[in-house]
Amino acid sequence: MTTTESRPSGRRPAQIVDMSWDPITRIIGNLGIYTKIDFANREVVECRSTSSLFRGYSVFMKGKDPRDAGFITSRICGICGDNHTTCSNYAQQMAYGVKPPKLAEHITNLGEAAEYMFDHTIFQDNLVFVDFCEAMVKATNPGVLARAERTTAPRGDVHGFKTIADIMQAFNPFEGEVYKEALKVSRVTREMFCLMEGRHVHPSTLYPGGVGTMPQPNTFTDYLSRLMHVIDFVKKAVAMNDDVFDFFYEALPGYEEVGKRRILLGCWGAWQNPDVVDYRYANMNQWGRAMYVTPGIVVDGKLVTNNLVDINLGLRIMLGSSYYEDWVNEQPFVTHDPLGNPVDMRHPWNQTTVPVPQKRDFDGNYSWVMSPRWHHPETGEHLALDTGGGPLARLWTTALSGLVDTPYVKATGSSVRISLPKGESLPETTLEWHIPKWSNTIERDRARPYFVAYAAAMALQFLEEAMGMLRSGDTKVYENFEVPDEAIGCGFHEAVRGVLSHHLVIRDKKIANYHPYPPTPWNASPRDIYGTPGPYEDAVQGQPVFEENGPDDFKGVDIMRTVRSFDPCLPCGVHMYMGKGKTLSTVHSPTYGASHG
């Protein structure tokens, strides 16, 4: 739970203004951010995150043939639909007791690697960096732009830009050099995806039990040729991002407080190891730890667990400030997991979704998003985990776990080392992401290009192993199975923007209960029954305002940078109120700040 800090001395009388950004469009619902800003003391004193759309997949999945689950759930999202299909197949394979052939796992991993490269590139360079580009910085912080024009870019020998302002200019929308190049890279990486999964973004060749992709030599060589075409862009992206983000820390002392919250990170793991995974729940800890992105939960900078069974049993879906009827007095679907561990009534296996439409009330219920939490078995806390936008949590848990050790990626215990081969113009390069001091806006954004490099590096390994199998004549990509009368299954994966789980209950060969939990409900959750704010709310609330504009022409760029750092699906659809806002008639002294781990 967020705790308060003592208000510093020398503060001015509060000048509180209500300001909202609604909708911030995304696939899973419509996101709105409602704030109270103290312009006298330049800080956000209160934040509410809302969603105005009910989706209902957990309702209409009931009674369906479970084999259709992957095709249906991919429609949850128009960006990361393949992540849902993959995760659904993982859950089904556990329920059916089927293990896909190794080559099928390599093909799935290659598709997901291409998706990470595609989505992170288009989001970072064409959406996030609009908030850091020359045009935006000129409108919100002209003093910072003037300094950027005088500041030499330290990594110019890699990316080719002389000053920080030159990089910012290259990210100007529709006109900037890097902005346009990123669009081309996104096209190429989408082509790579389609070679493996057939169609973007709703795969046509991913099934429980394997894939329908024909494993021919040109399937993999066409993927490799495209990968090598973009490999130098990946190296330059890391250098450009490091230069700009390091500059912001220097140019705006205290900027580390923007979007900073207690380090509460969750990662469910990505890319199955075909030599270890068997999808049996009894072995889930073993094959989970063998993933090429290590699952885990990090609290206050320390790794609490990287066991998927622990992660699974700790899941709690709380109503809090959301528009639903409680289900705790109903009969549970699952009382114990396959290992005999008791399953909580608020676990996704037992959830029943009963929507209760009502008027939005910020003192009561105000969102269609529930409040997923993870129950810490030692402290008893219900932790409002966030994903760090996806890459921050993935890199952090992998680094601390120290389990990933491949020819191209190595976790050291405090960093992740990524080796990329020589490209068209740049030499062989080793990049190293180090665990940062903070979980904040800049570090969420900084992690993203590093994870693009991570995905590119792992794709090289998957290609080598897949082509080796092909040369040996091992081309099997599908395993038959039967749908059982009764079964349960769970799938854990990483959507582009973070944790993704699917929980399935089968009765009479039909879906009796199905609950997918993507990253957005975790990040966009409202206050829970204990009053704990969700990650968006917590990260924005208490952060300082560095924008030089006052209430009359306030752009809210620091707030938008924080929300976007979580990658909240299609944030390009922000509708901003550009007027003077609404000054509250009752002046009060709201709680200052929040403790940051």
DSSP string, 13-69: PP-EEEEEEEEEE-SSSEEEEEEEEETTTTEEEEEEEEE-----HHHHTTTS-GGGH
The answer to which of 22-26, 352-356, 419-423 has the lowest mean pLDDT is: 22-26
Question: What is the distance between the alpha carbons of residues 377 and 386, in angstroms, rounded to a whole number?
Answer: 18
Q: What is the mean pLDDT of residues 363-391?
A: 97
Nearest CA to 55 among 257, 310, 322? Answer: 322
Mean pLDDT over the full length of the chain: 92
pLDDT of residue 11: 86
Class level of CATH domain 16-596: mainly alpha
pLDDT of residue 582: 65
pLDDT of residue 78: 80
Judged against a pLDDT cut of 70, whether residue 589 lies above it is answered with no
Nearest CA to 514 among 61, 11, 8? Answer: 61
Place of tokens 């269609």: 368
Question: What is the distance between the alpha carbons of residues 170 and 490, in angstroms, rounded to a whole number?
Answer: 44
Predicted confidence (pLDDT) per residue in 315-335, tens digit: 999 999 999 999 999 999 999
Binning pLDDT at 50, 70 and 90, where does residue 186 land? very high
What whole-number percentage of the chain has pLDDT above 70?
A: 93
Q: Are 51 and 25 in contact (CB under 8 A)?
A: no
Q: Are 73 and 85 in contact (CB under 8 A)?
A: yes
Judged against a pLDDT cut of 60, whether residue 167 lies above it is answered with yes
10 class by beta-carbon count within 10 Å (0-12 exposed, 13-18 middle, 19+ buried): exposed
**Where are any strands of DSSP class E within 190-272?**
206-207, 210-211, 264-267
Binding residues for Mg(2+): 575
Three-state DSSP class for 362?
A: coil
pLDDT of residue 588: 37
Q: What is the mean pLDDT of residues 122-135?
A: 94
Q: Are 150 and 418 in contact (CB under 8 A)?
A: no
Binding residues for Fe cation: 80, 572
Binning pLDDT at 50, 70 and 90, where does residue 56 land? confident
24 class by beta-carbon count within 10 Å (0-12 exposed, 13-18 middle, 19+ buried): buried
Q: Are 443 and 436 in contact (CB under 8 A)?
A: yes
Binding residues: 77, 80, 569, 572, 575
Binding residues for Ni(2+): 77, 80, 569
Predicted confidence (pLDDT) per residue in 443-482, tens digit: 999 999 999 999 999 999 999 999 999 999 999 999 999 9
Judged against a pLDDT cut of 60, whether residue 350 lies above it is answered with yes
Burial per residue of 358-373, b for 16 or more beta-carbon CB atoms within 10 angstroms, e otherwise: eebeeeebbbbbbbbb
What whole-number percentage of the chain has pLDDT above 90?
A: 88
Nearest CA to 497 among 454, 451, 543? Answer: 451
Q: What is the mean pLDDT of residues 532-550?
A: 97
Binning pLDDT at 50, 70 and 90, where does residue 8 land? low
Binning pLDDT at 50, 70 and 90, where does residue 6 land? very low
pLDDT of residue 586: 40
Binning pLDDT at 50, 70 and 90, where does residue 33 land? very high
Torsion of CA 167, 168, 170, 175, to 10 degrees: -170
Residue 457 structure tokens: 């590096």
> Looking at residue 350, what DSSP letter applies?
G
Q: Are 487 and 92 in contact (CB under 8 A)?
A: no
pLDDT of residue 587: 37
Q: What is the mean pLDDT of residues 494-515?
A: 98
CA distances from 42 to 14, 253, 535, 558, 561 (A): 10, 14, 21, 11, 16
pLDDT of residue 541: 98
The answer to which of 4-13, 119-128, 427-436, 557-566 has the lowest mean pLDDT is: 4-13
Residue 255 structure tokens: 């900027």
Radius of gyration of the CA atoms of the chain, in A: 23
Q: What is the mean pLDDT of residues 359-384?
A: 96
Judged against a pLDDT cut of 90, whether residue 580 lies above it is answered with no
Residues 6+ positions from 116 with CB-CB distance below 8 Å: 451, 452, 455, 496
Place of tokens 């491949």: 406
Q: What is the mean pLDDT of residues 191-217?
A: 97
Q: What is the mean pLDDT of residues 263-267?
A: 98
- What are the sequence ranges of the domains in the chain? 16-596
pLDDT of residue 211: 98
Place of tokens 């040369």: 471
pLDDT of residue 115: 98
Q: Report the phi/psi class of residue 19: left, alpha or beta, with left for phi > 0 and alpha for psi in -120 to 50.
A: beta
Predicted confidence (pLDDT) per residue in 211-246, tens digit: 999 999 999 999 999 999 999 999 999 999 999 999
Angle at 361 between CA 516 and CA 345, to 5 degrees: 35
